[in-house]
Amino acid sequence: MASMQSLTELEALCNVLYNSHNPHERAHAEGALRPFSTNTDYIPQCKAILDSTTSPYAQLFATSSLTKLLTDNSSLSPQLRLDMRNYVINYLATKGTVLETFVTTSLIQLLSRITKTGWLDTDDTHREVVADIMNFLTQPNSTHYHIGLKIFNNLVTEMNQQTPGTSLISQRKIAVSFRHNVLLQIFQVSLQALQSLQSDPNTEARLKEQATALVLCCLSYDFVGTSLDESTEDIGTIQVPSSWRQLIEEPATMQLLFDVYKSSAPPVSNGALECLVRLASVRRSLFASEVERNAYLQRLIVGTSDMLRLNQGLGEHANYHEFCRLLSRLKTNYQLSELVAVEGYQQWIQAVAEFTLTSLQSWQWASSSVYYLLCLWSRLISSVPYLKGEAPSMLDNYVPRITETFITSRLDSVTAVANSTASEDPLDNEEQLQDQLESLPHLCRFRYETTVTFLTALLDPAIAEFNHCTNMQPGADPTALSIVEGRLTWLVYIVGAVVRGRLSCSSAEPQETLDGDLAFRVFQLIQVMDTGFHTYRYGAESRQRLDLAVLNFFGNFRKVYVGEQAMHSSKVYVQLSERMGLHDHLMVMNLTVTKITMNLKCFAQCEKVVEASLNLLQDLAVGFMSGKLLLRLDSVNATLANHTPEHFPFLNDYANTRNRTIFYATLGRLLFMEDSTEKFAAFMAPLGELCQQLATTASNPAAFRTNQVKHMLIGLFRDLRGIASAANSRRTYGLVFDWLYPRHTPLLLHTMEVFAEDPEVTTPLLKFVAEFVLNKTQRLTFEPSSVNGILLFREVSKLVVAYGRKMLQAGRPPPAKGSDVYADRYKGIWISLTVLMRALSGNYVNFGVFELYGDTALQDALGVAVQLSLSMPLEEIMTYRKVAKAYFALIEVLCHNHMGMLASCEPGTFGYIVRSLEAGLRSLDVSISSQAAAAIDNLAAFYFRALNPTVGENPAAGSEKIAQHVSGQPGLFPDMLKTLFDIVLFEDCTNQWSLSRPMLSLILVNEQICGELKSQITQTMPPAKRPKMEGAFEKLMADVTRSLEARNRDRFTQNLTVFRHDAKS
């Protein structure tokens, strides 16, 4: 620290850290300042900086360092935390008025973190935080008042979210205690502050904003630990505690928020509306009786009616959006019968209907909010069958108008976009489109005959105009046709949504007839889409959208009227048969497949249409019955016979390479439904010719490395992966295996040797091999006398070794700065590890044969796999989830079946692997922690058996070396056992059974150290809990013997469950 003795120098470094655009300068400053945030000895220096400096950046740095030290070091003494707390409160009180905003925010964050970490301390001081913060609210100046409200806001937020490094159980304990002790008090303070500020005409907007935000924070608290998904705006029921009843039921509470809304502008006004959305979502059981609940609803109806009547503030988008959410929540939390019974319902529903109609017409401005209004009307309609009593719902008067306005507004948007009077096209936002279409079926089917009449009146002229355009000459102006295509796109989407609604709406036969009426028009449109002038339109965006809408319609129609669950004798087919000769679902499937095939041939440049077409074909092929039906179609058999790029140009487009796997997986599924080796041979013939062509090219190194060959190889491997994934039985897998081996496997190895450093080639190659060696549904079951399993593993070993050695080459340059190290290196490594893991665990190879006959295939593959694993830093492995899953899955297999290989590792390598398992235990991914636990169990059990050999049995290979490794690194097993106890006792482990298995093995091989560990854990507990903890440890080993038999393991697992419960109670 000699270079940083002066405060001036430190301030300069802090200024560089936060303001410099030079990465080297910032890196130097960060390195020089790092000790302040990593070493607890620097806490006094951080306080000294705050006391001495006037630089806001030095103040921010000191505060951030204290927060990090506090977060990363849970063992700080309670007195130290208490001193820090008092220091920060005093600092804010004395200097808060002159601090920069970002410094104040950082100090408040530090105070909240101190309060949270000390909340469960035996000293009550931290829990008296409300009284301390109230001192800020009683000061005469507005800055202190603002700081006080900000502290409350930050404190509630801090208590409501999990702090990095703390377990979920610990978080819930703190959150529940905070809710129980002070949250209601803070909520009362927030309402009092807001009331006081509301009544003062000279109030600063920032104070009102903080007070409103605090009310919202309290109402948004996770009261029961449901951890609501914050990625969605939709909120569930608010589980307010019963102690809040009086405050929630108090009419002044809700009225205050309505008043704040009326007298404010965003962000205060929309914050008040957000609070009202929460109040509208309060659990029904909170209220003492129906009288109180209905009075509460009455106030909500009156308040929203006034807002609609006055139309105040709804011109602000933030207010408008929250108001739509508020209306939607009213139906989510209350029954239609309750709404209808409220005084003023008729005026309210009329106002909401007018508001909805206006919103639909203002689609450019309100596009993201319309979803909530459609949800409201959809839910109202869904409740009509359950409505009892004579009070009219009034829905008949408004729903048809709303439905028609929605449809016409969407059609109007097409013209507006074409005339460039709209900034964005609603069809571009696919997520928003699907949200709106989701609510539409209930609206359309409410008065279905009226809706169908309206839709056919729009469809018929649009289809007629589309037909007329068929005769246009090439080169003609397509502007008018683009608008027709856009209008038809909306209409086809709407018809598709309405037909899908048949699954959840009324099952009356007349509705099926009406479905047929609409479906007929769409099928009529489909028959002319690929004729005349329309064949020149495949590159136009409006035409591509129309085809996506048609595919969406096919998918929805299929779910209702085609396939296993469909209604084959439906009245729909009566309509379709009479009007266009589509007598049954087989003919509809033929039309669908014909359209899909046409799309795949004509839309090679449009990846979206190709992908949607393939996904629909895949959906049709997945079902056994629909798959069998497909095989009866000439168009499908023609595709199986002619599936090369000459017939399907999309296969030549590099952008579609991902879609090739889906295409061939679907064709493979259909191909394997028939037990015909001749058809399989004919299907694979073009791929065989391509392999021969590539094998011939391989003799010319320069020609083999061209981009053309590279793209051919990528396509080939994606195609083969699709076919291999479809081979789900022993018979079909045998066909693929016999086709590939031994004729074409040399091509795979040569490709790997040439392109090992090019992930564009190695990734699809390795993914194909990973699929090919996967023994799903026991498909890799060869005859007892067959050597195919061994031959397959030898080929896999050659590929993995060839790839691994290239990756590990001494002269290979490190990844370029700024390159994607995952795509360039780690992705290929995890796939190769997966390949090896699947081959090792597939149970189709007798690995003892390799050692018996001196074959090094197994040894080489395992050696390269370990070296590849070691080439990645453990932090990087844990950072990338897929890499971690592949790594730990392989280590688990090695510990289960190949302990001899692990035993032969260097001591440093063995230690690294075992230490990595400890990191795996702490992974938040349950599958990774379970794999790590299984590996540790196998390792510890192997060591236990080596220490306690059974009389008369030969020691397992590697026993002596494992014993040497463990004795050479005596801390390995004790550290893992300590980690497991930490997880079981202090974290929310959902895989307790998996973690219990290695615990017994580790206890049995660490009996001497186990007593010390128990003592250490007991000492970390509060003094009052220590006797109970000691008793829990005694019960843990009750009736557990020194053996690893299944019954003994199960007894220990049961004891561990009791132990965990006792320790946490």
How far apart (Å, rounded) are the C-alpha atoms in residues 42 and 469? 79
Give residue 777's region: left, alpha or beta (phi > 0; psi -120 to 50).
left
In angstroms, the CA 692 to CA 695 distance is 5
- Residue 509 reports pLDDT greater than 90: no
Contact yes or no for 270/243 (Cβ under 8 A): no
**Residues in CB range of 912: below 8 A, 6 or more apart:** 870, 874
Taking only the tens place, the pLDDT of each residue in 811-835 is: 565 555 445 889 889 999 999 999 9
CA 809, 812, 816, 819 torsion: positive or negative?
A: negative
Instruction: Give the CA angle between residues 9, 14, 20 to the nearest 5°.
Output: 110
Query: Which long-range contacts (C-beta less than 8 Å, at least 24 apart) are formed by 383-391?
Result: 383/331, 383/335, 383/336, 383/337, 384/336, 384/446, 386/335, 386/336, 386/337, 387/336, 387/337, 387/340, 388/337, 389/337, 389/340, 389/341, 391/340, 391/341, 391/345
The values of phi and psi at residue 487, to 5°, are -65, -40
Give the whole-angstrom CA distance, residue 280 versus residue 328: 10
Sign of CA dihedral 815, 818, 824, 827: positive
| Residue 53 DSSP SS3 | coil
Give residue 203's region: left, alpha or beta (phi > 0; psi -120 to 50).
beta
Contact 211, 193 (CB under 8 A): yes
Q: What phi-psi label fits residue 706: left (phi over 0), alpha (psi between -120 and 50 degrees) or beta? A: beta
The rounded distance, in Å, linking the Cα atoms of 279 and 438 is: 26
The CA distances from residue 282 to 203, 275, 299, 612, 728, in Å, are 30, 11, 14, 42, 51
Rounded to an integer, the average pLDDT of 455-461 is 95
Per-residue model confidence (pLDDT) at position 505: 66
**Which of 329, 310, 309, 325 has its CA nearest to residue 366?**
325
pLDDT in tens, 8-27: 999 999 999 999 999 899 99
Cα 983 to its chain centre, rounded Å, is 25
Distance (Å, whole) CA 832 – CA 823:
14
Residue 278, both tokens: 């929460």
Angle at 93 between CA 87 and CA 95, to 5 degrees: 90
Neighbouring residues of 390: CB distance < 8 A, sequence distance ≥ 6: none
pLDDT digits (tens, 9 = 90+) for 682-702: 999 999 999 999 999 999 999
* Cα 938 to Cα 410: distance, rounded to the nearest angstrom: 63
Nearest to 114 by CA among 86, 153, 150: 86
Cα–Cα distances (Å) from 692 to 687, 738, 998, 1024, in that order, read 9, 16, 52, 78
Q: CA 212 to CA 263: how far, in whole Å?
A: 13
> Over 50: is that where the pLDDT of 228 sits?
no
Q: What is the mean pLDDT of the chain?
A: 90
749-754: long-range contacts at Cβ-Cβ below 8 A with a sequence spacing of 24 or more? 749/795, 749/798, 749/799, 749/802, 750/695, 750/698, 750/704, 751/713, 752/799, 752/802, 752/803, 753/802, 753/806, 754/698, 754/701, 754/704, 754/705
% pLDDT > 90, the chain = 65
Could you say which DSSP state residue 196 is in? H
- For the record, the structure tokens of 255 come out as 């009225």
pLDDT score at 654: 84
Other Cβ atoms less than 10 A from the Cβ of 741: the count is 15
pLDDT of amino acid 168: 73
pLDDT at 811: 54
Lowest mean pLDDT among 402-411, 808-817, 849-858: 808-817
Which residues touch 818 (CB under 8 Å, ≥6 apart)? none
pLDDT (tens digit per residue) in 273-308? 999 999 999 998 999 899 999 999 999 999 999 999
Separation CA 95–CA 104 (nearest Å): 9
Amino acid (1-letter code) at residue 157? T
Identify which of 124, 214, 82 has the alpha carbon closest to the alpha carbon of residue 160.
Answer: 214
CB atoms within 10 A of CB 5: 9
Pick 872 or 1016 by higher pLDDT.
872
Instruction: Please classify residue 470 by burial: count the beta carbons closer than 10 Å to its beta carbon, then call 0-12 exposed, 13-18 middle and 19+ buried.
Output: middle
Per-residue pLDDT tens over the stretch 999-1032: 999 999 988 888 888 888 888 776 777 888 888 8
Closest to 718 (Cα-Cα) out of 760, 670, 781: 760
Is residue 416 packed enough to be buried (19+ CB in 10 Å), middle (13-18) or exposed (0-12)?
A: middle
Burial of residue 455 (number of CB atoms within 10 Å: 0-12, 13-18, 19+)? buried
What mean pLDDT comes out for the span 374-397?
Answer: 84
How far apart are the C-alpha atoms of 746 and 739, rounded to whole Å?
13
Residue 1065 confidence (pLDDT) above 80: no
Question: Are the C-beta atoms of residues 728 and 672 closer than 8 Å to each other?
Answer: yes
Distances (CA, A) of 130 to 171, 462, 752, 1050: 20, 67, 67, 49
Helix/strand/coil for 400? helix
Distance of alpha carbon 896 from the chain centroid = 32
d(CA 239, CA 218): 12
Average pLDDT, integer, range 869-894: 93
Closest residue by Cα to residue 59 from 15, 28, 20? 15
Q: Tell me, what's the pLDDT at 233?
A: 47
Q: Cα separation of 367 and 363, whole Å?
A: 5
74 within 8 A of 27, measured Cβ to Cβ: no
- The mean pLDDT value for 831-840 works out to 96
- The Cα–Cα gap between 523 and 598 comes to 15
- Quick one: pLDDT at residue 568? 52
Per-residue pLDDT, 569: 57
Distance (Å, whole) CA 272 – CA 163: 28
**For residue 824, what are the contacts with CB-CB under 8 A and spacing of at least 6?**
759, 815
Q: Is the dihedral of CA 240, 245, 249, 252 positive or negative?
A: negative
Confidence at residue 567, expressed as pLDDT on a 0 to 100 scale: 52
What is the number of other CB atoms lying within 10 angstroms of the CB of residue 1054? 13
Q: If 0-12 CB within 10 Å is exposed, 13-18 middle and 19+ buried, where does residue 154 land? A: buried
What average pLDDT does the segment 851-872 reach? 93
Report the Cα 327 to chain-centroid distance in Å. 29
3-state class of 568 per DSSP?
coil
pLDDT tens digits along 146-183: 999 999 999 999 999 988 877 777 788 889 889 999 99
The tokens for 1030 are: 């000691």
Please list the alpha-helical segments (H only) found in 334-478: 336-341, 345-361, 363-366, 370-383, 395-418, 430-446, 448-468
Query: What is the rounded average pLDDT of the residues 317-340?
Result: 91
Percent of the chain with pLDDT over 70: 96
**CA pair distance 840, 890, nearest whole angstrom:** 9
User: What is the total residue count of the chain?
Assistant: 1065
pLDDT-derived band at 230 (thresholds 50, 70, 90) equals: very low
| pLDDT of 223 higher than 80 | yes
Q: What is the pTM of this model?
A: 0.85
> CA 529: distance to chain centroid?
38
Residue 976 has pLDDT above 70, yes or no: yes
Instruction: Report the pLDDT value the prediction gives residue 234, as an integer from 0 to 100.
Output: 55
Q: Is it the case that residue 188 has pLDDT exceeding 60?
A: yes
Please choose, from the candidates 273, 253, 278, 141, the residue with its C-alpha nearest in 3D space to the C-alpha of residue 207.
Answer: 141
Query: What was the pLDDT predicted at 229?
Result: 43
What are the distances in angstroms from CA 290 to CA 242, 249, 744?
16, 12, 76
pLDDT on residue 955 = 79
Instruction: Say which amino acid occupies 334.
Output: Y
